Structure 1
Amino acid sequence: MSIRIKLLLSYIAMIIIPIIFCGITIMLISFALFGDNRIMRSFIDIDHQTTVRNTEDEDDIFSRLKVLSSYTPKQIEDEMFLKKTDQELNKNQAGLLIRKNERLIYVSPYFEQYSFEKFLPPFEGKGQIEDLGFKIEDVYFYYKQFDYYDVNNNAVSIIVIEHISPIEEMARKYFVLFVVTLVIGLIVTNGIMTYYMSRSIIKPLRSLKLATERIQRGDLDFQVIPHKHDEIGELSLSFEEMRCRLKESVEVQVQYERNRKELLSNISHDLRTPIMAIKGYVQGIKEGVARTPEQLNKYLTIIYNKVFDMDQLINELFLFSKLDLKEEPFQLEQVEIYQYLADCIEELQLELQDKGITIGWEAQLKTTIFVICDREKLRRVIMNVIWNSVKYMDKESGFIGIHMSVNSEFVTIEIKDNGMGIEAEALPHIFERLYRGDHSRNSNTGGSGIGLSIAHHIISQHGGKIWVTSEKGKGTTLSFTLRRIDQEEGENS
């Protein structure tokens, strides 16, 4: 039997069994109150099933009588009118009573077997009152009463009486008992169904849970064997297939996790410093440390620069993450590399001159050489490398030289600076994410530490290579290659 059918049967049982419990309770209450099954007979009585009470009609009639009491009070004492109105109320199992000076002048024939004089509420003056009513011979009545004085200053009460059926009476009186019975029925039914379902569903699910816990602990050396041919059996087969695939990829996944933890740790380190600086300057502004407009402008400028640095760091981290996951799209096209590099250098030249740094450019051949690359990504590589060099060189006598050479398959581009150089033990780690030498972790140089990692990713996905040579105190040279295409092919395209 499939789980769907089992669940369907259990749902049906959970509906029927509580209803049976409630039915038994109603019968017991009926015998306890009346000595017979009067309540049950009242419930299934044809009149009760076919008679539909319309409380809106009853309210309309009562409202109409109140209006008549103000504008045509004599009509309230017209017996023909009262009988006609009472017949309309009888359709809704209600009746009309008119009381004048504490004496009933009209009693609905619908309730003629009852004596209301001792049970009706007293005259309250002018206004409307309503209540659950009163009880006569173990029968409950609901009433609405409107009191007023007629033109002769007689105290007149318009009363609409409504008989409350045994079902309503019992529901009002034993509502809590019904709820308790229903809850008990649900508890018993759920207990039985839970026990039944546990044998066919929960037990194999518990086995899958234990298998999940073993996977959670890193234990993949086991096998999940399905024991049934239902939906859970199919789930077990899928789980076993998942376990096998997970076992094959777990080593790669662990390595990814290790890299991400390291990345998060480094990110928190790089973000903490500017955040603390921003916090300090904002606190200084709040406490009035910046007393003059010049000081305030200085503080705001520093805050802006810190926020700008954080924004750049976040953008680089976002790009690095997409490159690392191979989700960053590359728009590869044929590019004439000589003119492309000339344009990049021209763009940088003025800005570097303002910093006191000279940039030199030489090519092996001033000719047309085509490569396959993404223009924006290659520009990011060149910018990252050059600005990384700028951070670690003397700004008064800094020099950056760019050299291009060509062979049959690749174009090699070298970017050399006369900065402080890189220690030998640091060179193997230079392209690792967020790796920076200790000297770079200060407020003067800063940097995100992933610029060269981004460059490494981009060049690798272009099918080229990137490497660094450096000597402490004598500068650094970063080189990378791009795959070239034949000149004729580039011109034809």
Structure 2
Amino acid sequence: MSIRVKLLLSYIVMLILPVFLFLIAILMMGFAFFGDIKNTTRFYNIDLKEPHTITRLIYADDIFFTELKDVAKYAPQKLEDPRFLRGMDRELNKVQSGLIIRQGRQLVYTSPFFRDPAIIHALPPVFQKKVNDEEDEHEHHEIRVHHHWYSYKQYDFFTQDHQVMTIFILRDVSTLTHLARKFFRTIIITLFLALAVTNGLLTYLVSRSILKPLNVLKHATEQIKEENLDFRIVPTSKDELGELSLAFEEMRQKLKESIDLQLQYEENRKELISNISHDLKTPLTAIKGYVEGIRDGVADTPEKIEKYLSIIAKKAEDMDQLIDELFLFSKLDLKKLPFFFEHVEIVKYLDECIEEVKFDLEKHGISIKWARKIAPTIVIADREKLKRVIMNIIGNSVKFMNKTKGEIGFSLIDKPEKVVIQITDNGPGIDPEALPFIFDRFYRIDKSRNSLTGGSGLGLAIAKQIIEEHKGEIWAKSELNKGTTISFTLQKASKRTKGGSFEKDPDH
């Protein structure tokens, strides 16, 4: 759920819940006011399910008023009977009403509910209309006594001796007012309490859902500031803050990978400097030693002098080759070496390469086997760079060859979108523990870095860089005392290329 939706829902609840609680308070007040409603309705045989039930209950005293009017017309002597009057008054008392009968200015009967002289004094004289005139039996009038309001009905008539008699039915209507005043403070407090609790609770929950992930991110930034990236941020929600936490975690991972890579680069740089220093110092020391031997007269014959000079020339050539390989590898590593890709018929190209190295290999007692198992196939390659790959692999095989009759074999495997070139030798093989590292720069199986048992350690690293620029892969398989096979792939022109160059990768 998004933060926007959370806030919107919280605002809606803040509005609806207090109103709901306020209505509950009003209903409770209503139940308190009409606590005896069931008893009253049962007495008057009123069904609460019927329409206008409350209205009928409110006007229940009209029944008695009508009955008393009938009594006044047809049996006025009953109005002088105390038992009859008390009975009527008791029934009126059940609906919070009372009976007062006045003859002239003398009270004939007064309900115990209304014996306050102030109430009697507040009652009006004869209505300003003709006595015995009919009036609306639902017509109510009100008087106020001591902050109390009373609703009354009045009926004036003449007795047989021509005296005016008045019937009053009074009801104390201040009960609702008292109840409202009594519960007004409670209702207001309840309303404000509902507002406070609702707003406080929702504010706490919403703010907690926002502040908790923010605190996690704050702690994460402090960890990063202290250069500690060994932690993990787990999103706790799926809203915008969850997305932010996820993005922050991805940033942390990228940053950690970048720092780890930087540290690895630094370590590689140190190792590179150490290896270069060793590989350059060894021939330089040898050259210096042979030069001093010539100067000191150790080489005292023309043959020795020639031998020393030949060794010096060989060491200088090795240094020159090492510097060239360092320069090439550096340009490859920095992506600053240009590649000139073109359509190359790979079978014919390998024929030319094999023919070029065949004579030199025969001088080392190594024969070449070339299995042409596929039809002419066009690949995309940089001729010069691909030749460097093949020569570096063959050079490695020649350096480590320990057999009297050495063999190097070439083979091609046709794949749907690429070709696989395999170069196999029958040399000493590579230890399984060393095999994963032979394409690393400056890696040598001989840890002593003896120049007699290996080259600079850059040959296969350069081959790997070149093949990767060709969008290919390179790998090795080897068995001790049986030989090694180095394989690499080249992309076919018809499937992945156009016009002699690689199509641009849509992901880059």
TM-score (norm 2): 0.47
TM-score (norm 1): 0.48
Instruction: From the CA coordinates, give the structure whose radius of gyration is larger.
Output: 2
